[in-house]
Amino acid sequence: MSEDILRISLITPTYNERENIPILAEEIFAVIAQYPEIDLELIVVDDNSPDGTGDLAEELKDRYPIQVVHREGKLGLGSAVMAGFAHSDRELLGVIDADLSHDPVVLPQLILGLRDHDLAIGSRYDPESKVEKWPWYRKVISQSGVFFARRLTGVQDPLAGYFFLHRRVIDKMVLTSPGYKILLEILVKGQYNRFMEVPFIFRNRQFSSSKLNWTEYYLFAKQLLLFWLFKKRFSGHSKSN
């Protein structure tokens, strides 16, 4: 598909991201405007945010190619991503957090990477990446999770929330991750051969607050164990980098 137009749906799950969503849309479409070979629609999946993010996203439709999926209440990040995938009719899919942590500057590199890779991941752990001022405990937790998940997948940042893929990678799998870290499940169960990782600067959220809590950490630890068992039973992906 080397010279074709790359038609992609970029999913952004939102829960109380009113301040962030207009800036995110502006940044994304400013970057993409410079790449005529990329045709991107943004799909906002909002869980009835009390701060009115969903309605604000509706207003942005006048200015940008945006679709908004409204869900009844807070049903979790992973399931929001899946709802976005289900809503899209495009072959290429991507995920970006709405809180401006995932710098849209690297979007073209990630999306163009799909021309010869099944998966493209924005990596926080490349020597060229930077993670802005995380509290120490968050760093420790993230890095321990990454340590185990890396051994499971061979990917530098298997817990990234910024990733892109061909729909065929997930066509045959049933995603079960309700909460965070849906990429890990895709890496364990998905159909892919070639993946790439692109370093970027992970910016701290400026507005609103993180929705990551102890329940999410617990769910993640449980998931890691299940994937480990799954991997042991059905081992065998050929991956190249």
Ligand X SMILES: Nc1nc2c(ncn2[C@@H]2O[C@H](COP(=O)(O)OP(=O)(O)O)[C@@H](O)[C@H]2O)c(=O)[nH]1
- The H or E element containing residue 120 is strand 119-123
The Cα 69–Cα 42 span in angstroms is: 11
Count the residues of the shown chain that bind ligand X, applying the rule CB under 6 A. Answer: 20
DSSP string, 127-161: TT-EE----HHHHHHHHHHHHHHHHHH--S-TT-S
Contact call for residue 17 and ligand X (CB under 6 A): yes
Of 66, 99, 118, 220, which one interacts with ligand X (CB under 6 A)?
Answer: 99
At 44, phi and psi to the nearest 5?
A: -90, 125
Q: What are phi and psi of 138, to 5 degrees?
A: -70, -40
The Cα 55–Cα 108 span in angstroms is 28
Q: Does position 101 bind Mg ion by CB under 5 A?
A: yes
Give the interface segment with Mg ion, choosing from 22-30, 53-61, 92-100, 144-152 (CB under 5 A).
92-100
Least distance to ligand X from the beta carbon of 59, Å? Answer: 18
Regarding beta strands 119-123 and 163-166, do their DSSP bridges make them parallel or antiparallel, or are they unpaired? antiparallel
Minimum CB separation of residue 135 from ligand X in Å reads: 11
**Least distance (Å) from Mg ion to the CB of residue 1?**
32
Stretch that binds Mg ion, among 45-53, 121-129, 145-153, 201-209 (CB under 5 A): 201-209
Q: Check residue 17 for interaction with Mg ion (CB under 5 A).
A: no
Count of other CB atoms within 10 angstroms of residue 184: 24
- Residue listed under structure tokens 């942590």: 101
Whichever of 175 and 212 has its CB closer to Mg ion, that residue is: 212
Q: Give the footprint of ligand X on residues 199-218 (CB under 6 A).
A: 205, 210-212
Nearer to ligand X, 117 or 177 (CB): 177
Q: Does 47 bind ligand X (CB under 6 A)?
A: yes
Provide the binding-site residues for ligand X, judged by CB under 6 A.
Answer: 13-15, 17, 45-47, 74-77, 80, 97-99, 101, 205, 210-212
